[in-house]
Amino acid sequence: MKQRAWPIYRRLLAYVLRYKFRLAVSLFFSFVVALSFTSMIGGAGYALRIVIDKDHSKVDTQVEKFAKGAQAFVDDPLSVFTGGDGESEDNGEAAPGVEAENPGAVYDWVTGTVRGMRVDQAQALAVLALFLVCLSLVGGVARYFQEYYANAIGARVTVEINEDMFKNMVHLSHRFFEGHTTGEIVARFTNDSFVVSRGLVNVLIKLTREPIKLALLIVLALLIDVFLTLVVLLVFAPIVFLLITVGKRVKKSVRRSLQKIAVMASVITETAGGIAVIKSFRMERYERDRIGRELRTMRRHLLRMARADAAIAPGTEFLMILGLAAFVMLSRGRVDAGLESGELFILFGLLAAMLDPLRKLATVNNAVQRSVASGERVFEFIDMKPDVVERVEPVQMGRLKESLRFDEVHFSYDGEAEALRGVTFSIGAGEMVALVGFSGGGKSTIAKLTPRFYDPTQGRITIDGLNIRDVSFADLRDQIGIVTQDTVLFQDTVAGNIAYGQTGFSDEAIRDAAQAANALDFIEDLPQSFDTMLDESGGNLSGGQRQRIAIARAIIKDPSILILDEATSNLDSESEQAIQQALSELVVGRATLVIAHRLSTIQQADKIVVIDEGRIAQEGTHAELLSRGGIYRRLHELQFPADRDTKAE
């Protein structure tokens, strides 16, 4: 979703304004840096002029005015904002609070220093050198604090943006996670948020400091000669046009490169997760070529940004040099009109010094455009709304006592093709219902609808007569336990994974759940037993061990509704036997929905529902369905050809 730059940056600045103190400190030191830089340029020029200029009359007038203004500021700082300039408006008398004969210590120090510099030029040069060193030291210290506080704000904003993205993301509906790759999601947290942070830091450092520098230099230049200064400033218009034009190209390239970074992250994630398959099929070269294509595309966009960055500084400098060239051509006429050579020298130095803040401001624009492009992607995640939401005032629902029922349920993932078409069946308390059928028939969709990962497009799902849309997620999901084919374990201890999402369980309760899941023996053989830290996705355990920990997690939750989605399909016979034994204990007294391809695992189910192309094709017990023929019998004969041959004989 595209948004204009200002709304994006307004939202980013809202994060910055949460740190008003740090921002105020950073802005203060920005002013100090700019003032010290300008003072070094202007002060050095005026001091040299005092040393070498033999006609001091005009200088004396300017020094007198500056000295009175400085004294007035010390006596009454508000005079700066109320128009006071150290002199009365009509007769040149001292400003209020400054006596004409003895204006004050600041006035005496300024005028005395100037006179002393004329008497002893060696002393003047020493004072000048000390003045420049002190200004440099002050500017360096101020720059350190300004950049430190700006980066501190940037770091905090990055953390807050990631927190806000994550807080919103975990509450999004299942559709979001099935519609975005893992790599794309990770890229928003790792790349986009840090690009936003770098842009903010550039703004806080350069966009506050450099304009102050530029403004002070322009003020000093205008005080010397308005005409020549305005001539040079005329080049600002094409500079602004250049920045805007290049900035648009940068923003477009940034968006495309960020998209390619997300694709690249997805490819890398897939490669890392599927490395065993890649190596077994000798697909290393294919994957290398695939990531190479994405990287080359990303390189093209990065090079476009690099060209834009590279063009900004020299383009800005060239336009400024044109202005300075015009300055040189017109300077002779201004000298003839009365501008002193010393003033011309200072003016040239001030105008040349403008190149530095202009060049830095030019690079800031590109950083801002990158930040805006990343900000759009960041706020896209923050602004997303779940398509499955709770009622404002949900109905309270207790533990299942009677049945879970699907009533004429229709569902479509894309709004066109229906995955379920009028499905109706029920599971009573203490009953096991198995869903079977060919792949793609809609079995897993039923499992996703039960905990409201999705909502039906038509029909309703009820628990003890209550529509699950009318109850809270907490009431619904607290009584549902899910064990899937793809076991999900976290980088935590074994005990932490078993008690995941549950609080207050004793070590004894965790141990009992592990024993009920036939997992106690192998857990006790681990290096730290229940305190053993698991690798990513439980990589230091076997498939059967991971599955038994997942079953223990479901057991300790004590759900009234249990969903087993291909819970044993990828296991060896020994592991399957151990898990089947654990499951037989788990299903007692619960409404259990089993999805299975292996018909041997569900022959004892109270009811078997055959799903075909989103509809219920058959329903009954194992024996009833075999006797009727049809899809179930065909599935059975495919898995047990020996039974078919025996019957044929």
pLDDT at position 248, please? 62
Q: 448-479, pLDDT tens digit by residue?
A: 999 999 999 999 999 998 999 999 988 898 88
C-alpha–C-alpha distance, residues 545 and 518, integer Å: 9
Q: Find which of 5-14, 15-24, 259-268 is predicted with most confidence, using mean pLDDT.
A: 15-24
Residue 91 pLDDT > 80? no
For residues 177-202, b (16+ Cβ closer than 10 Å) or e, as one string?
eeebbebbbebbbebbbebbbbbbbb
Asked whether the beta carbons of 563 and 482 are under 8 A apart, the reply is yes
396-479+597-649 has CATH 3.40.50.10860 classification: no
- The letter for the amino acid at 562 is L
Listed by start position, the domains of the chain span 5-383, 396-479+597-649
Closest CA to 147 of 198, 87, 113, 195: 198
pLDDT greater than 60 at residue 55 = no
pLDDT beyond 70 at 134: yes
Q: Are 46 and 127 within 8 A, CB to CB?
A: no
Question: Quick one: what percent of the chain has pLDDT higher than 90?
Answer: 8
Sheet with 480-484, side-by-side order of all strands: 480-484, 561-565, 591-595, 432-436, 607-612, 615-620
pLDDT for 573-607, tens place per residue? 656 676 677 667 677 778 989 887 777 777 788 89
DSSP assignment of 128-176, as one string?
HHHHHHHHHHHHHHHHHHHHHHHHHHHHHHHHHHHHHHHHHHTTS-HHH
Q: Does position 294 have pLDDT exceeding 90, yes or no?
A: no
pLDDT higher than threshold 60 for residue 87: no
Here the tokens at position 290 are 């695939």
Indicate the helix (H) or strand (E) that contains 546: helix 543-557
Q: For CA atoms 619, 621, 627, 632, give the dihedral sign.
A: positive
What are the residues facing 615 on neighbouring strands?
612
Instruction: Report d(CA 144, CA 615) in Å as an integer.
Output: 69
Rounded to an integer, the average pLDDT of 260-267 is 69
Whole-number pLDDT of residue 80: 47
How far apart, in Å, are the Cα atoms of 302 and each of 97, 191, 268, 378, 452? 61, 14, 19, 20, 43
Q: What is the mean pLDDT of the chain?
A: 77
Q: Which two tokens stand for residue 75?
A: 């006596």
5-383 matches 396-479+597-649 in fold: no
Closest CA to 36 of 229, 201, 209, 219: 209
- Give the pLDDT of residue 463: 92
Under the banding of pLDDT at 50, 70 and 90, the label for residue 641 is low
Per-residue DSSP letter, 493: B
CATH superfamily assigned to domain 5-383: ABC transporter type 1, transmembrane domain (1.20.1560.10)
More confident residue, 499 or 335: 499
If one compares 523 and 597, the residue with the highest pLDDT of the two is 523
User: Using alpha carbons only, what angle is made at residue 257 by residues 180 and 171, rounded to the nearest 5 degrees?
Assistant: 25
Are 606 and 433 spatial neighbours (Cβ–Cβ below 8 Å)? Answer: yes
Query: 649: how many CB neighbours lie within 10 A of its CB?
Result: 4
Q: 533 CB contacts (<8 Å, ≥6 apart)?
A: 491, 492, 493
